[in-house]
Amino acid sequence: MPVLSIVACGMLEDELVHILSKDSELKQLIVVENRGNLEFLRKLKSKNCTLRTVFLDKIPMLLEDADWLNSRTFVKFLSLVPFFKKIHKKRELIERKKVTIVVNLLRLDLHSDLEQLKAKVYENIREMAYFSDNILIFYGVCGHTLGKLKEDFADLGCSLSVLKDKEEEMIEDCISLALGGNEAYARCMLDFRGIGRVI
């Protein structure tokens, strides 16, 4: 069962809730437990998302238990009986397509110190790589702090994905994402640069 992990900015909480609530390929949603994500959990539950909250260090054990149950339960036994063999094969194909998603929503106040933000994002990437097939970084470049993620984690052992705009450029920040990409962000900045002087 593939595992997609997401290291996410608290500013993009609503966007993440929207995406997760629409995901039909989702087998299991695990949210890393921390003090700052109560509102995120409430929003997910209001969209009828079924989830589990677990501390980060317990996730590998939880995933191993799920694999063990899938491989050694009564369903496995039934696959040996000819009548159920065909049903089991179809179920296996469907299960292989489904994904377990692990979301680690980081505190919004990390933006007050960009070095701390980088350290925390990097630390979480390293911890989550152990049990992930792919890690999606739900952040922008954030003042060029996270601009070299791919290079810094070239030997990570799992795929690393970043948010990009339609020109395939890494998103500048959460405002750029909300506006539709870096080009739209640059246009907006140009259009409104004189407003502060007039007021």
What tokens does 141 get? 């470049």
Amino acid at 86: K
Query: In this predicted structure, what is the pLDDT of residue 94?
Result: 42
Give the pTM: 0.78
Residue extents of the structural domains in the chain: 3-163
CA angle 108, 113, 118 (to 5 degrees): 80
* Beta carbons within 8 Å of 40's beta carbon, 6+ residues apart: 10, 13, 16, 17, 31, 105
pLDDT averaged over 10-residue windows placed end to end, the chain, 199 residues: 90 91 85 90 93 92 65 48 52 58 92 91 95 92 85 91 87 84 86 60
Question: What are the tokens at 6?
Answer: 């997401």
CA distance 34 to 48: 21
Q: Which architecture, in CATH terms, is 3-163?
A: 3-Layer(aba) Sandwich (3.40)
Say what the pLDDT of residue 68 is: 43
Tell me the C-alpha distance between 48 and 114, whole Å.
Answer: 35
Measured in whole angstroms, the distance separating CA 13 from the mean position of its chain's CA atoms is: 11
